[in-house]
Amino acid sequence: MPKFCANLKWLFTELPFLDRFDAAARAGFQAVEYASPYEFSAAEIRGRLRACGLRQVLFNTPAGGGSGMACVPARRDEFRDGVRKALDYAADLDCGLVHLMAGIVPSDLSRDTAAAAYAANVAWAADQAEPAGVRLVLEPINQRDVPGFFLRTQEEGAAVVEAIGRERIGLQFDIYHCQVAQGDVTRRLEALMPAIAHMQVADVPGRNEPGTGEIAWDYVFRRIDELGYAGWVGCEYRPATETSAGLGWLKRFSA
Ligand SMILES: O=C(O)C(=O)[C@H](O)CO
Ligand SMILES: [Mg+2]
């Protein structure tokens, strides 16, 4: 079964952020991910990781007050500063994956212009990340949750990965977003597996624990194993009640 890591933006929110590390370790997780470390110093977070014996798997580039800005030409300098900041944190936290957030296409910008800015920004960021030993990941997000988000489908994300090179950049395949936006999850996993560097899960439609909605997780997790996926799967869901009370599914599916 896949290796699951706790997303501390979504799980253990009953506690202040820094206390969620200990809660995750106590619940049996060996690794964590979350969107933003930037409200705390890297040293503070590193201390929590070490004290709890946890590994940092992934975090995002600064969201810039929204969902990122990689597709927005007017925010190029801010984007670049954000990438530099993220790479500094990644070095301090010994984190090998950073999610480069694409952003929302401004209403007065054509999609072609946004696409050109995105391609240039991702290529620049990959050049920065490579010597730092960090692999960037790109995540398509469904339009119902984030209307106007630039990267809409798994195939759009995979095409950028192939253009830049799989060794430098990978696809962040969030099964929740795939099911909402496109469906046909396992066929897409089969087709895109070589490009996938990270996965995330939540059930549909409620974005709660696996097993609370329409996805057949026994089948999906079995196929992920059969396809030889060796990366982490982030638990990026909203607990239906309280985090610990909802972790039963994990015992069923964990290696
Ligand atoms: O929205 C999502 O699914 C994500 O994974 C983004 O990175 C937000 O944290
Ligand atoms: Mg996600």
Confidence of residue 196 (pLDDT cuts 50, 70, 90): very high
- Say yes or no: CB of residue 60 within 6 Å of ligand 1: yes
Residue range 42-54: average pLDDT? 98
Token pair of 182 as six digits: 């496109």
Could you give the CA distance from residue 150 to residue 126 in angstroms, rounded to a whole number?
18
Look up the CATH number of the domain holding residue 54. 3.20.20.150
Active site residue 236: yes
∠208-235-204 over CA atoms, to 5°? 30
**pLDDT digit string (tens) for 74-122?**
999 999 999 999 999 999 999 999 999 999 999 999 999 999 999 999 9
Confidence of residue 1 (pLDDT cuts 50, 70, 90): confident
| Res 108: pLDDT | 96
Evaluate if residue 255 carries a pLDDT over 70. Answer: no
Bridge-based pairing of strands 97-99 and 135-138 is: parallel
- Say yes or no: CB of residue 99 within 6 Å of ligand 1: yes
- Say yes or no: CB of residue 33 within 6 Å of ligand 1: no
| Res 251: pLDDT | 85
**How many whole angstroms from 35 Cα to the centroid of ligand 1?**
7
- In this structure, of 46-60, 146-160, 241-255, the range with the lowest mean pLDDT score is 241-255
- Say yes or no: CB of residue 35 within 6 Å of ligand 1: yes
Average pLDDT value over all residues in the chain:
97
> Could you please report the per-residue DSSP string of 147-174?
TTBS--SHHHHHHHHHHH-TTTEEEEEE
- Say yes or no: CB of residue 98 within 6 Å of ligand 1: no
Q: Output phi, psi for 198, to 5 deg.
A: -155, 150
Could you give the CA distance from residue 77 to residue 98 in angstroms, rounded to a whole number?
18
Taking CA atoms only, the protein residue closest to ligand 1 atom 1 is 141
Q: Which domain holds residue 203?
A: 3-254
Q: Ligand 1 atom closest to Cα of 35?
A: 9
Closest Cα partner for 201 from 182, 231, 174, 238? 174
Confidence of residue 56 (pLDDT cuts 50, 70, 90): very high
Q: How many helices (H) and strands (E) does the chain have?
A: 9, 8
Sequence-separated (6 or more) residues with CB below 8 Å from residue 51: 21, 22
Identified catalytic residue from 39, 139, 167, 214: 139
Higher pLDDT, 251 or 53: 53
Provide the number of structural domains found in the chain: 1
Contact 204, 180 (CB under 8 A): yes
Active site residue 214: no
| Res 252: pLDDT | 83
Could you give the CA distance from residue 32 to residue 228 in angstroms, rounded to a whole number?
22
Taking CA atoms only, the protein residue closest to ligand 1 atom 8 is 35
Amino acid at 5: C
Residue range 9-20: average pLDDT? 98
**How many whole angstroms from 226 Cα to the centroid of ligand 2?**
23
Closest Cα partner for 136 from 128, 147, 144, 146? 128
Q: Which residues pair with 3 in a beta bridge?
A: 232
Place of tokens 């240039």: 120
Alpha helices (H) along the chain: 20-26, 42-52, 76-93, 111-129, 154-164, 175-181, 185-192, 217-226, 248-253
Confidence of residue 17 (pLDDT cuts 50, 70, 90): very high
Does the model's pTM come out above 0.90?
yes
ipTM for the complex? 0.96
User: Strand, coil or helix: what is 5?
Assistant: strand
